Amino acid sequence: MLKRVQSVYYVVKDMSRAVDFYQNVFGMKLKFRDGDKWAQFDGGNVSVALSSAEESASMEGGAVVALEVDDMAAYEAKLRAAGAVVIQRRDMGSHGSVVAFRDTEGNIVQLFAKAPQ
């Protein structure tokens, strides 16, 4: 039986740039960093981490992290200012909305905002 999802991670080429991106855009608290090998953030119930290629299980495939936010417009502005590229927007009606973007390392990340009640 699965105990819990411990972390979701992306392989990155420039650890410092990627750490700065996740700290500055989302205000994520850095829990642990091992130089340019690994960085792990407090993502609430699941840790979000960044890995070097050497520390990664495999370069094949990939992960997509969905980050829940309260104010989609504010985060879209932060993303643009940080150089992220928005690649898709989707309105899910009464459920909420999703914005997919590429972070500074080219990884796909999604923002999710619940619809106002």
Which sign, positive or negative, has the C-alpha torsion 25, 27, 28, 29? positive
pLDDT at residue 110, rounded to an integer: 87
Higher pLDDT, 90 or 61: 90
In percent, the amount of the chain with pLDDT more than 90 equals 43
**In this predicted model, what pLDDT tens digit does every residue of 22-34 receive, in sequence order?**
999 999 999 999 9
Q: Enter the CATH code of domain 7-55+63-114.
A: 3.10.180.10
Q: Report pLDDT digits (tens) over 42-85.
A: 988 899 999 888 877 655 557 888 899 989 999 999 999 999 99
The residue extents of the domains of the chain are: 7-55+63-114
Burial 12-31 (b: 16+ CB within 10 A, else e): beebeebbebbeebbebeee
